[in-house]
Structures are given as C-alpha cells and as structure tokens.
Structure 1
Amino acid sequence: MMTRSKWESNSEVGNSTNEGKRTLIDYISGIEVLATPEEAEAVQVFAKKLVEDYGYRKHQIQTHPQFRTKTAPSGEEKYPVDIAVFYNDKKEYNNMRIVVECKQPNRSDGLKQLSIYLNLIPSVEIGVWFNGKDHLYLRKAFDDGRITWKEIPDIPKHGERVADIGLYKRKDLQTPNNLKVVFNDIRNHLAGSATGITRDEAIAQQIINILFCKLYDEINTAPDENVKFRAGIDEDKIDVRTRIENLFTKVKQDYDDVFDEEDSIKLDDDSLIYVVGELQKYCIISAERDALGDAFEVFIGPALRGGEGQFFTPRNVVKMVVRILDPDPGEYVIDPACGSGGFLIVALEYVWDKIEEEGKRKNWSQELIVQKKKDISNKYFFGIDKDSFLAKVTKAYMAIIGDGRGGVFCENSLFSPLDWQNKTQDRINFGSFDVLLTNPPFGSKISITSKEVLSQYSLSYKWRFNKNEQKWERTQKFADRRPPQILFIERCLELLKPGGRIGIVLPDSIVGNQSDGYIREFILSRANLLAVVDLPNETFQPSTSTKTSVVFLQKKDQVMETDYKIFMAFAEKCGHDRRAKPIFKKDEHGELIPDDDLPLIAEEYQSFKRRNY
C-alpha cells in the first residue's frame, strides 16, 4: 500500500493567514494578498500573461498596491485599477499605456468600467477587460474630438505599435507559455458569443479546423515571410476570413483522411477574428506537447458529456500507466477505446524519448532520428473508437504532434472483427499487440444487449460459484446484458500477444465485489496480475463519481512463472479536488508542488520491477 509522502498538504492557492483566509503571492509585486477568485483566476493570470506572452517588464506593471485613477484630471485619486501597465518604469498618472479591469464579471459591465478609465486617463491607449474566462480588448480613438473605443483582436506587445498587431513574420512568432489559459478564453468566448454554433462538439470541430490552419501556416511559411494566419488592426473582416478559408482549403487537401470535403469554417466573422487574434502571435508547433495536449482537451472535454460513459482520463493517470507499462520502440501499441487519443499520444512521446536517447548514444543524425520517430508512429501505434467525432479528433491530435493518424479507425471494438471495415481488418488483428492501454466506457446504463455481440464472449455467459471446488464455473446460458467494461477485458486480452501487457482503468466493483469474482477468475486464467493502483475518488470528478483502479496484466504464455510478486498501491491524492481544481503541497524546500501521488507510484513500480524481475 502506498503511504502518504512526508510533504505536508497545503491549499490549492497558497498559505493561510492567521484569520484562516487563503492568500497568494502577487506575481508582479511579491506582496502577499488575499486569494479571492478574482485575484487568483483573473488578475494573477493576466499579469503573468503580460510578462510571459507580451514581453512587458514587471517594473512597468502595477498590481499591488493598486494604482488609483483620479475622478477628474485635477481631482482626487479614487478608482483602483486591477492592473496598470506603463510605457516605462515611471508609474505616473500620465504615463499609463494599458488599463486592465478584472472586477466586473461580465462583458457589458467590464466595458462600462473601461470607458470610465479611458476617459479619465489621457495617456491610456488600450483597455482590457478579463474575468478569467473571457476578454475584451479596446483601443482608444478620437472622432471629431470625441473619445471612442474600438474592439481589437489583440493588444500590442512591449515595444510594438498598435498598428503592428497581426503583422508578424514567421520567425517572430513566440513559444506559448500557457496555451490552456488561451484555449479556455477562446472556448468560453465562443460558448457565449458565437452566432449559430453553441454545442460543444460543434465548437470543438471548428477549433480543430482553425488550429490546423494555424499549424499549416507555420509549417509552410518561410522565416522571413509574413504569416497568413493573422487579423490586423482595422482590417476588413472579409479579408481575414478569405485568408483563413484559403488556408483551410489547403489543409483539407493535405489531410484528406482527417477532414471531409464538406468541412468548412462556420464561425461568424467576429468570432473568427477573436480566435485568430488570440492565436496569431504564437508558434503552436514549438509548444511543449504536454501543454498542447492540455489545451487541446479544453475543447474536446465538454463535447464528451453524455450518456456513453465517455470522459477524459486525466493526464497524470495516463502518464503513470505509460511509465508502468514501459513500451519500447518496435512494440505494437493499441488503445481499443481511444477517445481523443490521450493514451496513444503519451505512449508515442514516451517511445520517441527512447529513440532520442538511442540516437544520442549511437550518434545518429537528426534526420535519421526524425525518420525513425515517424516510422514508429506510422507503423506501431493504433487506436479504435466507435464515435466518429472522437476518432476524427484522435487523427487530428496525432497529426498535430507528428502523425500516426493512419492507425486510427472508427469501429466498435466489441463487434466481431468480421464486421469491421476492410482497412481495419487488414491492420488490426487478434494476438498481434505488445502493449494495450485503455479506459473503456463504464456503466450499466449503456449495457450491451445485442445477442450477436454477446455471443463472442465467455464473460457474456452466466457464471456460478462452485462451493465444493471453491471456484467459478461458466454455465451454458447467456446473460441478457453486460456492461461494456466487462466485455472490454476479454477483447483486450484477445488483442494481445502472449506476454503482452495491459493497463486498464476499471470500476472498483470488478476489483473487489464478491459477485464479480467470476471476472477476476477469468482474468487470472489468462493473465498474470502485475499491479493494481487504487485511484482516489476525485480522479474522474466532476465527470463521474465512479471509484476506479488501474489494473495491470500480462497475458500468459507457456514460459511465464506461476509464482510472482504483485505490486499494490493506494493513491490518496491525484493533483485535483472533486471540482477539478488543482491542489498543492509544500516540498522539503517550502515550494508549492502538485499534491499528486501518481508520479511517485510510477517511480515505486520501476524500483519494484528492478528488484523482482
């Protein structure tokens, strides 16, 4: 059993004051302030974005103590500004360039507050409203002596003119520091403002389309050329749309196995400019794949809500499973319920890291390493999902990180392979995989009732316990229904080679309920139990409250030992609470780190494996 670490548990934001109120350290000033939702989710997030993404220096930004505007040019200082950005390090009233409002919860109230600031502070050029979920960027202008405000797609970077926004050369694009924040902003804006597109699945599909336009532009634009994926200041909306639609035409030609000819950019003009404005300054292909994966799931996650038992496997769980299974280059890997491809992506990156290490040892050229990585992704990685949208998402996701999309198929893994498409039958065969990672759909409400499907499986029969023999025996009668997770166990074992390894997320009922003993006996008749990791209740919350464990198996072959040790672990913390908010603890140096037992469990398993195998 896994015991808790010596690190003490702490709040998800920071320390506690004597009064018990949560506090945090202000990113700009270093001052300890109350961790209100506004402060933690808006002020701190945007202040960090100003520094990391826009290049402003901390000494030209003021957050705490708050800068105050005057009630009139010669009046008293009254209105507190959440974030004030100055032209230089002189934090003076007539030297402010950008004012950021975070107090107002909605766009209309934010606009009213910004209008006050923009009127009162003569030097302010840009107004920003940001509530942690959505934003509004305004530029001050003058029309016949009157102050007016116009919405703009982005704000200028440090040292950049407003007129320069969108005029980026490929070499000037910057590596994003927190894509998840950017994507969250985009999703929330589209969910509330996009005309004609409100369903999460439709929003996700549109973002995939636009993201591919961005990636295509980055890949096919020379360093000294201007990018086509852009939205400039005062640019005609039709010109922006035409450029993006032309890019998407080329995307559909190059990725015809991901996109259909009828796919199109359906966002209204204002929403399209909003998305382009948010993404245009970044070089997406230079982002860390982990960051890209987290951001990608911002859009796909909400689209999975429904009655089909679909939800994301948290990335830390995926990483733990991959590390424990430890796939090698040349091993065939499959996820028969791949969803949006999380297990496949992480496993592929894990194997790619091994290729990189081997290349360094053997002094391979970079070209050879790239070719070997491409060969690995195209030949050895496979995914199946019955949902056409999710299969398409996985293809897109694989293409974004470096291909392998040709091994992803839209099929029902529980159907007979004879019912699969010919191209699937040609590439996916029983007994041909070395590593299988999966989180199958759960639930009695989505039970399989088709006799044609049930007839394939031993676990579809009714079983009874023989008290004399102290074992379960299969009867000759079929059950009327079976939850899909039970049938997936048998199908997974069928897909594996003898000696192949499985990591599968299962409800705790299968692991421990007395009435499910026949399932455990069936498993142990065909596989050795390598490890069981009990996951916290919060792991899949708020998507589902089902208590789960990860079960690791190795399909039996004739030479495997019958006497072996089993690794057992109990994770108390998984890095987030039941509302999916991150939780932290202090390390030995007093620094806040994720309160997550899963990386430690993966390390412990590796040590266990070295000692016992």
Structure 2
Amino acid sequence: MIDNFFKDKNFNLEQFTDKEILALKNRITEKTTKTGKISYNIKCFIREKNVALKPEELVRQLYLYKLIHDYDYPVNQIAVEYSVSFGREKKRADIVVFDKQNTTAPYIIVEVKKAKLKDGKEQLKSYCNATGAPIGVWTNGKQISFYNRKDPNYFEDIPNIPKYTEKLSDILSERWNIADLIQNDKLVTERKSLKDLILEMEDEVLANAGVDVFEEVFKLIFTKLYDELESTRNKTRHLSFRNYGDTDTELKDRIQQLFVNAQNKWEGVFEENAKIMLSSSHLSVCVSSLQDVKLFNSNLDVVDDAFEYLMSKSSKGEKGQYFTPRYVIDMCVKMLNPTKDETMIDTASGSCGFPVHTMFHVWKQILDEKGIKQSHLFTAEEKPTECEDYVKSKVFAIDFDEKAVRVSRTLNLIAGDGQTNVLHLNTLDYERWDETVQQEEWTDTYNQGWKRLKKLRQSKNSNYAFQFDVLMANPPFAGDIKESRIITKFELGKNAKGKYQTKVGRDILFIERNLNFLKPGGRMAVVLPQGRFNNSSDKYIRDYIAEHCRILAVVGLHGNVFKPHTGTKTSVLFVQKWDDELCPKVEDYPIFFATMQEPSKDNSGDKIYLKDENGSPILDEHGHLIVKHDLYNHDGKTQDGIAEAFIEFAKKEKLSFVGKD
C-alpha cells in the first residue's frame, strides 16, 4: 500500500537514493478510517514522533536522513519548524542545522517543497538574511540548489554543503579537473538546465547589473567552453573558470584573462578589445552559478538550449526566425543523409543547428569507418583530421542577424576546432553581397569562409547560383519583402498571373533562393508554414517547386514544436532537384507523407521528456534526457519513427542518396 502512496502522488525524488527512500518507507505507518480512507504517518527523524505524511513532509524527512547519514550532522544540532522573526511576524523554517561552536546560531537553513513545486527560494534567502545563516539549501526532491550567503544582496551557488567535519572553505577551495566536473555536473546532480540557471542569474543579479544580458552571458559561456576544452585535452589541468575562494577582484582578473585566451583561440566572435563588463561582485555570483555545469557533451545540446533562450530575448522572434528544435533537425539530417564528400549549407542558420548536426552525422560515419567510439565529451576532444577537413571545406552557413551569426560561429568554431564558414550576409539580397564583402571590418572576420564559398559558385563572378549537394534551412516566416529591387530578381516575386507583386512573403522568396543554391540532383529540407501546402492561392508556388524538383516528402510538425515563440503550424518539405543522372525527371511518382503525432512540447513550450513506467527520465548513452517525439528512433531507446519509415520508402524508390541494405 505504501508503494501505491508514492505512485499515486506522482512523486519525483531523483535527488534521493533507493537506500534513502527505503529507510524512509520503514518509518511510515498507515491507518484506515471508518470510511475506508487510508492516511499515512511517518516517525520524524528529529521530533521522534509521528507526523502526517504529506508531499512536503516526505521531502523534508528524506533530506533529514541525508543530513544525518550522508553529512554526519548530529541529531541534537538539527531543528525542524524553527521560528524565524521578521519584526513582529514569525515564520517557520523547514530545517535548521546549528553552528558547531555557537550551537544556537543557524548555520544551514533548508527550505523544502513538494515534488512539483518550484518556488520558495526567495523565502529561503529571507530566512538566511534574518538569522545570519551563511548556507541555504532549497530542494523539491527532483531539483536542489545550494547557496552561500555572501551579503544580504548576493547568494552564490556552491557545489554542495560541507559535512560535519568540513568547513565551507573546504568546499570552495577544492581544485577541480575535468573528471571532477563530469562527476559533479549540476545539470545531472541538481536536475537543472542551463536555461534555468541563466533565468536564476537574471533574477538575482543580471537584471540590476546595468549590462547587456545577452553579451555578458555569451562571454561567460564562451570563456567556460574554452576552459573545459583546455582541460579535456589536458586531463590533469585544473579548471580555471571556478571560484576557489578568491576575492571578487582576483576572480575577475582571472576570468578576464581566460576570456582573452578564448578570443585568441576562437577569433571573430567578439570585438578585439572586448572585456567582461560585469562588476567584480556580479561576476563572482555568475561564475559560482555556472562553474559546476558541464557545457561540453556529445552534441552541444546544453549550449544550444541556452543560446536559444538568449537569442529569443534578443528580438529573434520579431523577425519571424525561430530556432528549430534539435530533434526536428536530426530527423531532416537522417532523411537527407549527407556524406563526407558532399557540400552542405544553411541559408538562414540561426544558431547553426542544421550545419552542426550535419557535422555530427558525418563525423559519426568517419568515426565508424575508423572504429572509434564516440564519448560523451566528443565535442571537446581532438578529432581525426578528416573531421576537421570536412568542417573546413564542406559546411557553410549564412544569416542576416549579427547576433545569430556570432552564436553560429561560436558553435562552429568549437565543433570544427577553429574552422568555420559562417557568414554574415542577407541571403535574399545577393546582388549587394559584393558591396558587403568589400568592407574591411567584414573581411577581417569572414574572408576565409567567403573565399571557400566563392569556389562553389556556378558562375565565377555571380552570387546568383551555387553548386551545393545539400541544403537544410528554416527560413523566417513572418514579415514580407517590400523592396521591388529584391522582388524583381525572383520568379516567385510574381503572382499567379505572372505580375510582380508589391510585397511577397519572405519564406516564398527563400524557396526559390534555396533551390538556386543547389546543383542538379542536390537535395533540400526546408521548414515552411502549413498554408503553403494547403492554400489555393499558393498553388503557383507548389507548381514552381514541382517544375524544378522531385517532391520527396512532406512531414507535418505538431503545433507545439515552435512554442513558446510561435504556434504557427508548420511542415518540412523535402525535395531533390531534377537531374539526368541523380534524379531523372518523371511526370508521376509517389510522395512520402507523414504527420508528427507526439507533441514533443507542452502548450507552454516546455519539452516533454521520455520517462519509464515509474516516472523516472530515460537517458541516452551519454546521459542526456530524451525528448518524447516520433520523428526517429533515438539510439534504440524509442521506437522507429518518421525518418526510418522514409528511409524504407527511399530504398524502394531507389533514391540516389539512400544507402543500400
């Protein structure tokens, strides 16, 4: 019956071990009333009497067990329901651990919440301020946060609380290498996302710091990525992006120098003399928040999430350009199956999801050929020369948003070990490219990539058409192009009657522009508003596509996929340009249609993760959470999906880019 209590309440107690939960179960008693209703009591570890077992009490008793048995605090140094005075008002702190020497002074205050509740952190901080307690803990059983109260305004994250035999300084001064970071990664141990931590930093520090939040968080992530890379490639090196008990000024000097070193390795992301603009005290809090997070993993999805959030705050959505969820990108990559000998471009790259995941797809092919197993630190490790050569010569990206380009360049520079072909250009306004590339500042940053892109032009002196094998993109939906100078360069600038229009949807012009980037036989995946497939007024667009290429597939995405940015219903169009050899033109042919059934996100735009029958998250082989979708089979942990069905279809149709069994 007690097991039913846990299951019925849908508790999420990931912070606690099976041993701790079992110890708690042994102290629970159940009672049946005359009406047949069952209630539960538990013998409190501190009060030594039975108390009603409610969700919040369950979490409290588990944490009490942890304090006594894991941290070795004596029972007589712990109190529950401790009275805290706020003037005439009194409140009760859930758990208080007293100082060893001054046994009446609170040393650690713990605020517990029931499993599905997230608030209470401000309440915890107010208790610490009122009592002078230097350490605070917040937990709801699933997530946990540890804080060091530096002064009433600043609470710094700390990796853990000291045991009874330790001091706080022991926790803060312990030197970490990359193995320590892997073992204590806050995203795993505290069940948080990098986005959650940035939100916390915004609430606690950044909102009042008088700085550009995007720029300063970007600098910190950039710096920390460099620090992790250096330590991954030298396992004995101590991580430098940590507060080892330094003064705020000492810490700022060290982090600033680390930022300079990162800029020297990965040029062209920040201005040459860029500095971290946060004050010493603000920076100290931010470093403490980020230092226990492992940014590098097998596929950069940790950084992806953070950049997606930062970019959405920087007006990205206002331009109708939204980040494509990585599981949609992976479906497209699996279906188009790019190889190491093929060139690939994204013409509206955002944070470069399509190019980066294309790299991973091709790198896996290269590693498989060499019999090398991909580790969970794959993105930070040195890779075979063929992997670097592929990034350098075959993968390209373009975006018109300067901030997006800088994020894209960062991910590409990191993944490509200092190589990138991400360019800041307006894809549609190709006639003005020659003016842009003459600007000295632009050339300083983008010239190497531009030289490589020029080699793929169809005609030597024209930016109109290129010779790419694969193109994947999610062009902006919102907003119309109204400049006749641009509209008149496109066939799709005309309406169904063949007359040029005064305004044209940006995504419509992108269809034609993207096809011009492809060589004959080249293939494309492009995300489009559902209306382009359904509206009778858009028939001329569909006719144009059918005239120039074979329609391979249309995959309808769930309406929640692009939430919270937009609820626009979208589909992915897959095509291959007609070519005598790779895709001979035929009048009649089958098309693969599929519709995504699993929403992958809830109505608020939060991802839905795969869980087992007990409600625990299912992780992939690298320890990542798996989004619940039906687009493809995730490492054998989920069922075959749309991508696998398409691959079977493509084999039957003998499409040129699908491997034979």
The question of 1:137 aligning with 2:159 is answered: no
Q: 1:503 to 1:427 in 2, by over 3 A?
A: same
**1:223: how far off?**
4.2
Residue deviations 1:17-68 (CA, integer Å, cap 9, x gap): 99x98623422255999xxxxx999x99xx99xxxxxxx8996389xxxx96
Letter in 1 for 2:214: A
1:387-421: CA deviations, max 9, x gaps? 11110110012223334653000000001255244
Alpha-carbon separation, structure 2, partners of 1:257 and 1:338: 17
Relative distance call for 1:586 and 1:341 in structure 2 (3 A) is closer
> Is 1:26 matched up with 2:51?
no
Contact 1:336/1:413, CA 8 A, preserved across alignment: yes
The code of the aligned residue for 2:387 comes to K
Match for residue 552 of structure 1? 574
Deviations 1:106-140 (Å, cap 9, x if unpaired)? 65532223457877xxxxx7323479999671369
1:596 maps onto 2:629 in alignment:
yes
Cα distance change of structure 1 residues 340 and 590 upon mapping to structure 2, 3 Å threshold = closer
C-alpha displacement of 1:294: 2.9
The Cα of 1:353 is off from its aligned counterpart by: 0.8
Indicate how the Cα distance of structure 1 residues 203 and 578 shifts in structure 2: closer, same or farther if over 3 A, else same.
same
Match of 2:201 among 179, 183, 189: 189
Matches of 1:497 and 1:584, distance apart in 2: 39
Shift of 1:530: 0.4
Cα contact 1:100–1:129 (8 A) shared by 2: yes
Residue 386 of structure 1 pairs with residue 419 of structure 2: no
Give unmatched runs, 5+ long, in structure 2: 29-53, 73-77, 85-90, 438-446, 458-464, 619-626, 633-640, 655-661
Which position in structure 2 is the counterpart of 1:412? 426
Measured after TM superposition, the shift of residue 573 of structure 1 is 1.8
Q: Residue type of the partner of 2:651?
A: R
Q: Cα distance 1:206–1:449, how it changes in 2: closer, same or farther (>3 A)? A: same
2:517 is the counterpart of 1:495 = yes
Code of the residue aligned with 2:591 in structure 1: it is: I
In the TM superposition, residue 589 of structure 1 has moved relative to its aligned partner by 9.5
Shift in Å, 1:190: 2.3
* Matching of residues 460-475 of structure 1 within 5 Å: 460-464=493-497, 475=498
Residues 284, 226 of structure 1: alpha-carbon distance in 2 compared, 3 angstrom cutoff: same
1:356 is aligned to 2:391? no
3-state SS of paired residue (1:232): coil
Q: Percent identity of the aligned residues? A: 29
- With over 3 angstroms needed to count, the CA separation of the structure-2 counterparts of 1:397 and 1:449, relative to structure 1, is same
State the distance in 1 between where 2:82 and 2:613 align: 49
TM-score relative to the length of structure 1: 0.76
2:651, 2:68 → 1: CA distance?
A: 48
- Answer yes or no: is the 8 Å Cα contact 1:194–1:271 preserved in 2: yes
Instruction: Select between 211-220 and 188-197 the one with higher mean Cα deviation.
Output: 188-197
Q: CA deviation at 1:567?
A: 1.0
TM-fit CA distance, 1:226:
3.8
CA offsets 1:500-534 (integer angstroms, 9 cap, x no match): 11110000111111110000000000010000001
Residues 402 and 100 (structure 1), Cα distance of their counterparts in 2 relative to 1, 3 Å cut = farther
| Bigger mean CA offset, 272-281 vs 502-511 | 272-281
Supply the RMSD in Å over aligned alpha carbons. 4.3
8 A contact 1:99–1:117 mirrored in 2: no
Q: Residues of 2 paired with 1:26 and 1:368: CA distance?
A: 38
User: CA–CA distance in 1 between the matches of 2:205 and 2:224?
Assistant: 22
Partners of 2:262 and 2:150 in 1: CA distance: 37
State the AA in 2 paired with 1:236. Answer: T
The amino acid that maps onto 2:94 is V
| Residue correspondences, number | 541
Which deviates the most, 413-422 or 403-412? 413-422
Aligned to 2:223: 213
In structure 2, do the counterparts of structure 1 residues 110 and 495 end up closer, same or farther at CA, with 3 Å as the change threshold? same
CA distance in 1, matches of 2:153, 2:124: 13
The amino acid of 1:546's aligned partner reads: T
Q: Report whether the alignment pairs 1:300 with 2:311.
A: yes
Instruction: Measure how far apart 1:256 and its partner are.
Output: 2.4
For residues 263 and 498 of structure 1, the distance between their equivalents in structure 2, rounded to whole angstroms, comes to 44
Instruction: With the length of structure 2 as denominator, give the TM-score of the two structures.
Output: 0.71
Q: Contact 2:335 / 2:643 at 8 angstroms: preserved in 1?
A: yes
Change in Cα spacing, 1:261 to 1:313, as seen in structure 2 (3 Å) is: same
Q: Who is 1:10 aligned against?
A: none
Matched ranges for 1:200-279 at <5 A: 202-220=212-230, 222-233=234-245, 235-279=246-290
List alignment gaps of at least 5 residues for structure 1.
1-14, 34-38, 49-55, 88-92, 120-124, 142-147, 465-474
Q: Distance in 2 between matches of 1:118 and 1:568?
A: 63
Residues 62-461 of structure 1 aligned to structure 2 (within 5 Å): 69=80, 71=82, 81=94, 99-103=109-113, 105=119, 108-114=122-128, 126-129=135-138, 137-138=147-148, 151-156=155-160, 161-164=167-170, 165-175=172-182, 176=185, 178=187, 181-191=193-203, 193-194=205-206, 202-220=212-230, 222-233=234-245, 235-285=246-296, 289-360=300-371, 370-403=384-417, 405-417=419-431, 419-420=433-434, 421-422=436-437, 423=447, 426-428=451-453, 429=457, 430-443=465-478, 446-461=479-494
Deviation at 1:182, TM superposition (A): 4.0
- Give the conservation status (yes or no) of the 8 Å contact 1:414–1:453: yes
Cα offset, 1:237, TM superposition: 1.0
